[in-house]
Amino acid sequence: MLRPFGNVTVLPPAQWHAEPQSRGTFNILSNCLITMLLCIWTSVHLNLPEHRKEHAQAYRKLSWMLIGLLVPEFVVWNAWEQRKRVKQLSALMSAEGFMGEDFTTWQRCQRWVEALRLELQVMFFLKARDWPELASGQPRRRHNGRVHPWTDVHSWYVVMGGLAFEDTAPEELQFMPWGEQRVVLPAETVEWLASRRPNIIPDFSRESVEDKN
């Protein structure tokens, strides 16, 4: 018989092979390590990066990830200390009249119904000139002269380095040393301003902070 291509070996038919019954040491350790690193990476929330040093944020997070892997107690202790500082700042801001009153759910419902009743009265019965705040177009100011009450979210924002003073004057008129144009306001400075110069503290809403994640 003529065989122009020589002998042809017939391959055995493909079959289903079951998974091995055991896992190797490297497979077990690598999966555990990757899972731990991903958990630490997603659970650690760093303070806001310094001005013009945003590129170093990834390296800082890598450092904290290694610390969390080797010394997780230090990460927990640091988070606990920050939480204590937030509660201290919120307590002082509440004493200075920056925070809203703490109402029960029933009291909030009553206040909501009362606010709705007033809005309907304004809409249907009152004229703008009879309501100075509507005539001026300005929002109603409460909470130590502020529109938005201070919350724990604001305190966290301060402790994480969210408030800063920026010198926008020409370079020859700037007064901060080493050519710095922005300095972060720590919680101690915000407490000092709240008791002495409250009008300097920015008036921003909780939603504006949460919108920045």
The string of pLDDT tens digits covering residues 156-202 is 999 998 888 877 777 767 766 666 777 888 999 999 988 888 888 88
| C-alpha span between 150 and 163 (Å, rounded) | 14
- How far is it, in rounded angstroms, from Cα 164 to Cα 167? 10
Q: What is residue 74's predicted lDDT score, i.e. its pLDDT? A: 95
Number of Cβ within a 10 Å radius of residue 159: 21
Q: Do 206 and 148 form a contact (C-beta atoms < 8 A)?
A: yes
Element holding 68 (H helix, E strand): helix 57-70
Looking at the chain, the number of H-run helices and the number of E-run strands are: 8, 2
pLDDT band (50, 70, 90) for residue 5: low
Total-model pTM: 0.65
Residue with tokens 């303070």: 47
Predicted local confidence at residue 156, as pLDDT: 92
Among 71-75, 85-89, 116-120, 208-212, name the one with the lowest average pLDDT. Answer: 116-120
Q: pLDDT of 103-132, one tens digit each? A: 556 656 776 777 677 677 666 655 544 545
Strand partners, 12: none
Residue 182's pLDDT is what?
A: 78
Cβ(57)–Cβ(46) under 8 Å?
yes
* pLDDT at position 81: 95
pLDDT at 200: 86
pLDDT average, residue stretch 30-53: 88
Q: What are phi and psi of 201, to 5 degrees?
A: -70, 125
Residue 9 has pLDDT above 80, yes or no: no
Distances (CA, A) of 40 to 27, 48, 58, 73, 191: 20, 18, 14, 13, 32
Distance CA 40, CA 184 (A): 27
For the record, the structure tokens of 69 come out as 């892997």
pLDDT at 66: 92
